Structure 1
Amino acid sequence: MTAPLLPPSAAPDGTPRAPAGKTPEAQRAAAQAFEAQALGALLQPMFEGLGAGNAFGGGAGEAQWQSMLVTEYGKVIARAGGIGLADAVLREMLKMQEG
């Protein structure tokens, strides 16, 4: 005997689940990821003037990994509370969901 097939939105006991991306945790994570991306884009120009000859320049290795470093800076800032962008994005997501 095989178990009945349940829709992906149902738990094994048959109770309905929130669709993926609709849980408050998933929405918060999406808003925080957006803030991290925006912060990374805002931080990128800060590193553009650094070259290999400057005191803080690291040559080809730095140029290769710099974008990843800036992305991580954005993620860390967003996780630490950011600049409030994630909260604003989350509020707008909830408004759109209600309407």
Structure 2
Amino acid sequence: MTDPISPPAARTAPPLPAPVPAPLRRAAEALEAGFLAEMLKSAGLGDQPGSFGGGTGEAQFASFRRDALAQEIVRRGGLGLAGMIAAALQERGHGQ
């Protein structure tokens, strides 16, 4: 006896996520930039003695450099954390 083979069921694409509101996206990007700045600090970026010519203000300006670098990394796509953070917040209803 043979069993009839039924054709595979048609697949439907998963629903597209709702667009993330701009304020929520900016907040998520700022959070990712802050995280990246801390990671760059932990990695030792800005700890090169004499990179700004030395002096008492070098440590303060090194933090501005890390922050600017982190923001640029996020602007160019970052680690992808901003998208995940924004989607999670929107899913929980914080994007309204």
Tell me the TM-score normalised to structure 1 length: 0.64
Structure 1 gap ranges (5+): 1-22
Pair 1:37 & 2:34 matched: yes
Name the structure 1 match of 2:58: 62
Name the structure 2 match of 1:51: 49
Q: Which runs of 4+ in 1 moved over 3 A?
A: none
Q: Highest relative contact order (Cα 8 Å, sep 6+), 1 or 2?
A: 2
Tell me the TM-score normalised to structure 2 length: 0.66
Greater per-residue helix proportion: 1
The Cα shift of 1:48 comes to 5.5
Aligned-CA RMSD value: 2.1
Structure 2 gap ranges (5+): 1-19
Measured against aligned partners, the alpha-carbon deviations of 1:2-59 in whole angstroms (never above 9, x if no partner) come to xxxxxxxxxxxxxxxxxxxxx701011111111111011101132264223xxx4631
Q: Distance in 1 between matches of 2:61 and 2:47?
A: 15
